[in-house]
Amino acid sequence: MKPILIRGGHLIDPSSGVDSPRDLLLKDGRVAAVEAPGKLKQEGAEIISAKGLTVAPGLVDIHVHLREPGQGYKETIASGTTAAAAGGFTSVCAMPNTTPVNDSPEITRWMQAPERGAQIRVFPIAAATRGSMGEALTEYGALKGAGAVAVTDDGKPILGDSIMRQALAAAARAGLPVIQHAEDTRMTGGCSMNAGALAFRLGLRGMPAEAEFGLVERDIRLVAELKDARPHLHVAHLSTARALDAVRRARRNGLHVTCEVAPHHFVLNEEAVGEYNTHAKMNPPLRSEADRQAMLEGIIEGTVDAIATDHAPHAAHEKEQEFERAPNGITGLETALGLTIAFLHQKHKLPLSRVLALLSTQPAGLLNLKGRGSLVVGSFADVIIFDPKKQWTFRASDTKSKSKNTPFDGWTLTGKVVFTISEGRIVYRS
């Protein structure tokens, strides 16, 4: 692997607090040196000029659906990680709602095999229960040994109190977070968007906010009961103000409770459904404007730990049907950085270092991805080089993903990826 010397860029590394001009040397898949401009030399290195650009740790997405095994017509590990690289991501954590469900060490290892053609690092998240049926726990220790970084039944909740208590306790012993898809499905059967006046006008059954915050509050009570075991509860794709309040209170009480928010939940509200736009259908659904503002507040104040895309590709024929029948989910890997910079950095004045922390350093820390989300010497050579001021138009037709189900087709975004480097390999250049 040829060394890479990145010169003339502005380095932002939230893990070390660096926010100034620096040159960076990558060698043997690791960060070999970080020095003031002009000080580094390396015989035979590939030189990348980053003049006028920002150099930062590669982005880390802890919530993606790569659809393999079993649903390769929507996405493959190869195509999904190619899209991720184009979006500046160097690590993604793949959810287990595949076919079959990733509930075994064998499938966990299969997802990481070189034959899958991953362009960047894939960290599997394994099912918390067998078949994600919510009845019997999987073998957390064996799954961790095979490479799983967390457990979840994402796509479904862990609904029963007893099984959730068992999952939190067992995961704490194994040193894994439990990621909860917070949806009380006893309240959401047949529902396809947020409950409210718009759903009523459209004649659609609405998902009440209580279906989310009620389960979050239940889970936090269980974490409190198991406090001595120090379980880690992570709330996936949080979308309601009251669920966010519950996380705030849990933190104040010293509980290890964390959460993520997807870009679509701080950029869009339920009005994006418009006239039954299936590209605005996801679970949790786009919420009220008050909930959207609450997500922004939670990000800005620091309650939200990470921005995660919930990249959920679907084939065109699946989305091109009646709203209630269309599957939930949108793609997000190639739009996350541009949306986050446009809405959080430019519009709401969140410092770029905070934006990058939410997209790299903090998510890596949540799932204990050692050596990721950082550019200190010895870290993996995972780097994004981008122009934070460049405006560009996202075209779904140009996506690297196999699927085009996005509400952001034709949007003007800010922040253009120029290079993505994964473990010392250039995996994307514009």
Residues 206 and 191 sit within 8 Å (Cβ to Cβ) = yes
Q: pLDDT grade, residue 62 (50/70/90)?
A: very high
Cβ burial of 72 (10 Å; 0-12, 13-18, 19+) is middle
> Residue 91 corresponds to which tokens in the numbers above?
């690590």
In total, how many domains does the chain have? 1
Looking at residue 231, what is its pLDDT? 98
Report pLDDT digits (tens) over 351-389.
Answer: 999 999 999 999 999 999 999 999 999 999 999 999 999
Three-state helix/strand/coil letters over 265-322 = HHHCCHHHHCCCCHHHCCCCCCCCHHHHHHHHHHHHHCCCCEECCCECCCCHHHHCCC
Task: Tell me the CATH number at 143.
Answer: 3.20.20.140
d(CA 369, CA 300): 24
Q: pLDDT grade, residue 289 (50/70/90)?
A: very high
Q: What is the mean pLDDT of the chain?
A: 98
> Which residues are bridge partners to 428 per DSSP?
420
Residues 124 and 112 sit within 8 Å (Cβ to Cβ) = yes
> Residue 275 corresponds to which tokens in the numbers above?
């006239």
Q: pLDDT grade, residue 187 (50/70/90)?
A: very high
Domain assignment of residue 46, yes or no:
no
Report pLDDT digits (tens) over 300-342.
Answer: 999 999 999 999 999 999 999 999 999 999 999 999 999 999 9
Looking at residue 235, what is its pLDDT? 98
> Which residues are bridge partners to 414 per DSSP?
391
Domain assignment of residue 357, yes or no:
yes
Query: What's the chain's Rg over C-alpha atoms?
Result: 21
Looking at residue 9, what is its pLDDT? 98
Instruction: Tell me: cis bond preceding 327? Omega within 30 of 0 counts.
Output: no
Looking at residue 101, what is its pLDDT? 98
Domain assignment of residue 22, yes or no:
no
pTM to 2 decimal places:
0.98
Report pLDDT digits (tens) over 385-425.
Answer: 999 999 999 999 999 999 999 999 999 999 999 999 999 99
* CA nearest neighbour of 418 among 88, 59, 2, 27: 88
* Separation in Å, CA 103 to CA 95, 96, 360: 11, 7, 27
DSSP string computed for 380-393: B--EEEEEEEEEEE
- Residues of the chain with pLDDT > 90, as a percent, come to 99
Domain assignment of residue 331, yes or no:
yes
Domain assignment of residue 206, yes or no:
yes
Phi-psi region of 375 (alpha: psi -120 to 50; beta: other; left: phi over 0): alpha
d(CA 188, CA 166): 25
Residues 278 and 204 sit within 8 Å (Cβ to Cβ) = no
**What residues make up the domain containing 73?**
59-373
Q: Which of 153, 154, 305, 310 is catalytic?
A: 310
* CA nearest neighbour of 52 among 428, 426, 422, 418: 418
Reply yes or no on whether 153 is catalytic. no
* CA nearest neighbour of 353 among 48, 82, 121, 18: 18
Residues 6+ apart with CB under 8 A from 355: 340, 341, 344, 345
Residues 11 and 21 sit within 8 Å (Cβ to Cβ) = yes
Domain assignment of residue 202, yes or no:
yes
Looking at residue 308, what is its pLDDT? 98
Looking at residue 225, what is its pLDDT? 98
Mean local confidence (pLDDT), 99-122: 98
Domain assignment of residue 9, yes or no:
no
Domain assignment of residue 385, yes or no:
no
> Residue 276 corresponds to which tokens in the numbers above?
């039954």
